[in-house]
Amino acid sequence: MTDLVTGADGIRRCAWAGTDAEYQRYHDEEWGTALHGDRRLFEKMSLEGFQAGLAWITILRKRPRFREVFHDFDPAVVAAFGPDDVERLMQDAGIIRNRAKIEAVIGNAGLVERMADGELDALMWSFAPVAHTPPRTFAEVPAVTDESTALSTELRRRGFRFVGPTTMYALMQSAGMVDDHVAGCWRAEV
């Protein structure tokens, strides 16, 4: 795989954005952009957990339905979901129908709901590396870092599920805690 792709619009992007318009929009507007707020980070954590073992584009395409069925990832609402809600979600072809992941989101919502306002945001961002060297090539992009491992360990200690080190590094990339746009990508130059 090459490190960059030039879109029909003439813009050079990280190659993973490919030619899919939604992927390119996500790359250009979201991935690597600082994301704050307990609710938005809870959504990101939940979607990254659903992504485990799948392509991100699958989650991205299903994100509107995820937001709908999980009430825009309002932790208070999701934490109140019960067995009937799990069964309803298991029948919804618009999301990823994985019982363990659905139950993890509900359990994680309860943990977020019990945190002080801003606590999840502060906790997650406290693991952002102080210094991060943007990669020159995809070969330099790690799947796991000491920081993502530490974040995963702390979240697991608190009872969160589907928050492994690789998943947490993907969250750190997408939430802008690290900038992994490769050299030559227009976003790396911003």
Does 48 qualify as catalytic in the annotation?
Answer: yes
Q: Residue 125 — φ and ψ, nearest 5°?
A: -70, -20
Does 31 qualify as catalytic in the annotation?
Answer: no
Question: What is the C-alpha to C-alpha distance for residues 78 and 49, in angstroms, rounded to an integer?
Answer: 15
Closest by CA position to 182, among listed 54, 29, 5: 5
26, 30, 113, 125: the active-site residue = 26
Closest by CA position to 187, among listed 132, 124, 135, 128: 135
Burial class (CB in 10 A: 0-12, 13-18, 19+), 115: middle
23, 31, 43, 48: the active-site residue = 48
Closest by CA position to 157, among listed 111, 122, 98: 111
Does 26 qualify as catalytic in the annotation?
Answer: yes
16, 30, 56, 186: the active-site residue = 56
Count of CA atoms in the C-beta half-sphere (13 A) of 142: 15
Question: What is the C-alpha to C-alpha distance for residues 60 and 174, in angstroms, rounded to an integer?
Answer: 12
Q: Which residues are known catalytic residues?
A: 26, 48, 56
